[in-house]
Amino acid sequence: MQHRPLFFSFRDAFRGMGYVLRTQRNAKIQCGIGTVTLIAAAFFRLPPRDWALLALTITAVLAAEAGNTVVETMIDEISPSPSEMARIAKDASAGAVLLVAIGAIVVGLFILGPPLWKLVT
């Protein structure tokens, strides 16, 4: 197998994420929530460690969504007609995104909950 220049690998990766962000409604929602989260982190002047945890969590959710898009796209290509196995694969992939998203909510509540609570009380 011939090695391609590193530039092309990065170009293709950015193109793939661009596709996910342009075509997947949930990815757009997740980006919006991530942006609001980072704005709140800036507002509350959170320490760098909290920023790192939030950034890693947001990235994990978006990566899971990209993986889900891969699974759905491949299943649609391999099995264009409805099948039970295709449904199971798609549902399991969507479930993985849901688990990561729930984890992200928990992380967000632990980090942003206390300063938000102080703001409203």
pTM (2 d.p.): 0.92
The residue ranges of every structural domain in the chain are 26-120
Q: Find the angle CA(66)-CA(35)-CA(92) to the nearest 5 degrees.
A: 30
Nearest to 95 by CA among 54, 65, 70: 65
Token pair for 101 = 């998203």
Span between the terminal Cα atoms of the chain, in Å: 62
* CATH 3.40.640.10 for the 26-120 domain, yes or no: no
Of 61, 60, 58, 63, whose CA–CA distance to 40 is shortest? 58
Per-residue pLDDT tens, the chain, 121 aa: give them.
678 899 999 999 999 999 999 999 999 999 999 999 999 999 999 999 999 999 999 999 999 999 999 999 999 999 989 899 999 999 999 999 999 999 999 999 999 999 999 999 9
Catalytic residue numbers?
A: 65
Cβ-contact 61, 97 below 8 angstroms: yes
